[in-house]
């Protein structure tokens, strides 16, 4: 396949389906992947915890294709739909059970003190008053689709200019809040100074449930929220995030969880907990019982109370799902409060409790009680990903065995282009460096690395980059790459790489001002198309060239 340029843009060559399948099969053989995976998911196996090198190899062999989307197993959407209905039924039963417990009084429950403790903690973080005006300065749109903004043109300006759809419960409040944002209100009403005019959003029943690919066994359910709701849901998420940070949990970093997981793998003092379908099993009644009344009422008004599934509108038994702008922060706060309540009442140091979404860390001595309290709240601890004893822990994308990183690399895309094989080769090289304790490269991965490089056309192989600068070229050591000194007296180096850049479209729409882009002039503004990139060859400045070392 010849590489061609079109107006300075690379025309990336592609492998056909048969060539890609053959290459993946050969790569999997070099990594020791059981060939049975090509006919169905592998059964869970016991990994050798006594030997770090053996564990790393066996884990890579077992998990390398675990998330590969190229297999044709069953019906992923059907499995995702099954899980969706299962979660809704679990939430319905949780709502009934917790309502009965509340009527009877928590004093009659063994877990009653812990429930009251969680309520008091959340009250201390949020306070008993909520002011809607706090949302005005924090509202924003995310990168995804909304109920009325679809396709590739998903810049914030398009969402401000789209139909202002809102749920019935939030319609009046949403209109009043938009009236406090003159630029957006002006777009809706068409009146330049609309302080005396309340905009009228379009009312729709709720969000739309859709499914996106996750792996070859199941899709991932996600809700597409109404335009107005998501803007203020994200504002609420920011407020909850700030309150959690004041309480000691910073959701802007995963480093705390990762370091504590490492510590737990060394001395067994800390446990890591992961939950099954956490967002989808956050029931309405759980939130009602744990949050102060004014905050619950605000969140309940902001969320979508109905969802459209396969064309039919259904009331939710869950409180909110992925796609809602505050779900992650809300669930993090609830999980942290439940875990911290147990630690405080049972005499454990609360310093060792943290939460990042449903990645939880608690002192090992309170693991069982925390699990009981989570079960009362309607959540299910995932036994395959939760660890209270032994030398292994995992949290927030880092896996540790006796303090050493053991997380493998995963093939998460169909490798039908040179850029995909560059990414694979670099991932294997970084992993080889980790396996060799950051001093050279573990030679067990060299055959797979060499094969990955052989799949890259010669034109793309000639580009080099240092580790730490992404997958814009093959990672090479300084002596092999031989970059040129930076010009103009700068300390550093220049190297030629394959540069990605977003594909853009041009608009002069008035909503650009609302989105804060600029004043649209005669030439307009060029905005990125979501998920669309093109590639060209360019020079990259590297301040410090980091060598990974030789194969050994």
Write down the mean pLDDT value for the chain.
92
Neighbouring C-beta atoms of residue 549, cutoff 10 Å: 13
Domain extents in the chain: 4-68+412-542
* Euclidean distance between CA atoms 231 and 148, whole angstroms: 13
Lowest-confidence pick of 31-35, 334-338, 420-424? 31-35
Alpha helices in 127-270 (DSSP H): 156-161, 171-179, 182-189, 227-247, 255-267
pLDDT at 527: 85
Find the mean pLDDT for residues 118-135: 97
pLDDT band at 186 (very low <50, low <70, confident <90, very high): confident
* Euclidean distance between CA atoms 127 and 116, whole angstroms: 16
* Euclidean distance between CA atoms 191 and 411, whole angstroms: 53
| pLDDT per residue as tens digits for the range 456-492 | 999 999 999 999 999 999 999 999 999 999 998 899 9
| DSSP state string for 532-547 | EEEEEEEEEEESSPPP
Q: Which of 307, 277, 302, 276 is nearest to 291 (CA)?
A: 302
Q: Higher pLDDT residue, 417 or 216?
A: 417
Sheet holding 404-405, edge to edge: 392-395, 398-401, 404-405
Find the mean pLDDT for residues 432-436: 97
| pLDDT per residue as tens digits for the range 140-154 | 999 999 999 888 888
pLDDT band at 200 (very low <50, low <70, confident <90, very high): confident
* Euclidean distance between CA atoms 449 and 421, whole angstroms: 10
pLDDT at 314: 95
* Euclidean distance between CA atoms 392 and 163, whole angstroms: 50
pLDDT at 2: 55
**Percent of the chain predicted with pLDDT > 70:** 95
pLDDT band at 42 (very low <50, low <70, confident <90, very high): low
Q: Which of 234, 208, 202, 241 is nearest to 222 (CA)?
A: 208
pLDDT band at 218 (very low <50, low <70, confident <90, very high): confident
The SS3 call for residue 138 is: coil
Instruction: Compute the radius of gyration of the chain from its Cα atoms.
Output: 26
Distances in whole angstroms, Cα of residue 446 to Cα of each of 305, 450, 498, 548: 54, 6, 24, 14
Q: Which of 494, 501, 415 is nearest to 456 (CA)?
A: 415
Mode of pairing for the β-strands spanning 270-273 and 275-276? unpaired
Question: What stretch of H or E contains 104?
Answer: helix 76-104
Do residues 271 and 387 touch, judged by C-beta distance below 8 A?
Answer: yes
Reading the block at residue 395, the tokens are 């949290």
pTM, full prediction: 0.93
Quick check: 238 pLDDT over 80?
yes
| pLDDT per residue as tens digits for the range 334-353 | 999 999 999 999 999 999 99
pLDDT band at 196 (very low <50, low <70, confident <90, very high): low
Do residues 354 and 259 touch, judged by C-beta distance below 8 A?
Answer: no
pLDDT at 35: 79
pLDDT at 512: 77
| pLDDT per residue as tens digits for the range 268-300 | 999 999 999 999 999 999 999 999 999 999 999
Q: Higher pLDDT residue, 547 or 514?
A: 547
| DSSP state string for 379-447 | -EE-TTT-BSSSSEEEETTEEEETTEE-------S---SHHHHHHHHHHHHHHHHHHTTTSSB-GGGHH
Do residues 457 and 498 touch, judged by C-beta distance below 8 A?
Answer: no
* Euclidean distance between CA atoms 536 and 499, whole angstroms: 5
Do residues 188 and 175 touch, judged by C-beta distance below 8 A?
Answer: no
pLDDT band at 3 (very low <50, low <70, confident <90, very high): low
Do residues 444 and 57 touch, judged by C-beta distance below 8 A?
Answer: yes
Mode of pairing for the β-strands spanning 207-213 and 306-309? parallel
* Euclidean distance between CA atoms 79 and 322, whole angstroms: 17
* Euclidean distance between CA atoms 299 and 301, whole angstroms: 5
Distances in whole angstroms, Cα of residue 119 to Cα of each of 24, 128, 284, 338: 51, 11, 15, 9
| pLDDT per residue as tens digits for the range 497-521 | 999 999 988 887 777 777 776 545 5
Do residues 76 and 216 touch, judged by C-beta distance below 8 A?
Answer: yes
| pLDDT per residue as tens digits for the range 341-387 | 999 999 999 999 999 999 999 999 999 999 999 999 999 999 999 99
| pLDDT per residue as tens digits for the range 59-89 | 999 899 988 888 877 788 888 999 999 999 9
* Euclidean distance between CA atoms 346 and 342, whole angstroms: 6
Distances in whole angstroms, Cα of residue 175 to Cα of each of 3, 130, 286: 54, 18, 29
Q: Give Cβ neighbours of residue 455 (< 8 Å, ≥ 6 apart).
A: 23, 415, 418, 421
Q: Which of 255, 264, 244, 266 is nearest to 367 (CA)?
A: 264
| DSSP state string for 505-526 | EEE--THHHHTTS----TT-EE
pLDDT band at 40 (very low <50, low <70, confident <90, very high): low
Neighbouring C-beta atoms of residue 523, cutoff 10 Å: 8
pLDDT band at 1 (very low <50, low <70, confident <90, very high): very low
Find the mean pLDDT for residues 422-448: 97
pLDDT at 351: 95
Quick check: 31 pLDDT over 80?
yes
pLDDT at 493: 96
């Amino acid at each position: 396949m010849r590489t061609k340029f079109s107006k300075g843009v690379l025309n990336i060559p592609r492998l056909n389906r048969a060539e890609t399948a053959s290459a993946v099969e050969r790569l999997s053989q070099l990594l020791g992947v059981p060939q049975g995976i090509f006919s169905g998911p592998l059964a869970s196996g016991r990994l050798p915890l006594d030997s770090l090198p053996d564990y790393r190899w066996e884990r890579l062999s077992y998990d390398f294709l675990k998330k590969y989307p190229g297999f044709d197993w069953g019906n992923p959407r059907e499995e995702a739909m099954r899980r969706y209905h299962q979660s809704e039924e679990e939430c319905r039963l949780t709502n009934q059970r917790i309502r009965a417990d509340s009527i009877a009084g928590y004093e009659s429950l063994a877990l009653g003190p812990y429930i009251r403790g969680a309520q008091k903690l959340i009250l201390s973080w949020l306070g008993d008053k909520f002011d809607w005006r706090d949302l005005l300065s924090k509202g924003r749109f995310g990168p995804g689709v909304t109920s009325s903004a679809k396709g590739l043109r998903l810049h914030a300006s398009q969402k401000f200019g789209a139909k202002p759809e809102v749920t019935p419960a939030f319609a009046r409040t949403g209109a009043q809040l938009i009236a406090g944002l003159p630029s957006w209100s002006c777009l809706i009403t068409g009146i330049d100074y609309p302080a005396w005019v309340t905009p009228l959003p379009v009312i729709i029943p709720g969000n739309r449930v859709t499914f996106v690919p996750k792996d070859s066994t199941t899709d991932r359910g996600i809700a597409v929220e109404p335009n107005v709701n998501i803007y203020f849901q994200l504002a609420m998420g920011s407020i909850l995030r700030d309150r959690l940070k004041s309480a000691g949990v910073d959701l802007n970093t995963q480093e705390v969880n990762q370091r504590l997981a490492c510590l737990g793998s060394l001395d067994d003092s800390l446990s890591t907990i992961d939950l099954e379908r956490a967002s989808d099993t956050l029931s309405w009644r759980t939130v009602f019982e744990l949050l102060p009344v004014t905050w619950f009422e605000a969140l309940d008004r902001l969320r979508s109370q109905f969802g459209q599934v396969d064309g039919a509108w259904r009331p939710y038994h869950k409180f909110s799902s992925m796609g809602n702008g505050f779900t992650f922060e809300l669930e993090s706060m609830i999980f942290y409060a439940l875990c911290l309540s147990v630690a405080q009442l049972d005499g454990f140091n609360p310093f060792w409790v943290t939460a990042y979404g449903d990645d939880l860390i608690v002192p090992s001595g309170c693991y069982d009680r925390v699990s009981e309290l989570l079960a009362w709240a309607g959540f299910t601890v995932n036994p395959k990903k939760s660890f209270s004893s032994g030398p292994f822990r995992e949290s927030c994308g880092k896996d540790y065995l006796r303090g050493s990183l053991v997380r493998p690399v995963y093939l998460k895309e169909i490798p039908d282009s040179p850029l995909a094989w560059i990414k694979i080769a670099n991932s294997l090289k970084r992993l080889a460096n980790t396996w060799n304790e950051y001093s050279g490269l573990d030679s067990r991965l060299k055959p797979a690395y060499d094969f990955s490089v052989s799949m890259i056309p010669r034109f793309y192989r000639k580009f080099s980059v240092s580790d730490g600068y992404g997958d814009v070229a093959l990672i090479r050591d300084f002596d092999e790459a031989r970059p040129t000194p930076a010009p103009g007296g700068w300390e550093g180096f220049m190297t030629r790489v394959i540069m990605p850049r977003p594909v853009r479209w041009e608009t002069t729409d008035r909503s650009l001002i609302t989105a804060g882009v600029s004043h649209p002039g005669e030439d307009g503004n060029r905005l990125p198309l979501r998920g669309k990139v093109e590639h060209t060859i360019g020079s990259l400045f590297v301040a410090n060239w980091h060598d990974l070392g030789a194969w050994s």
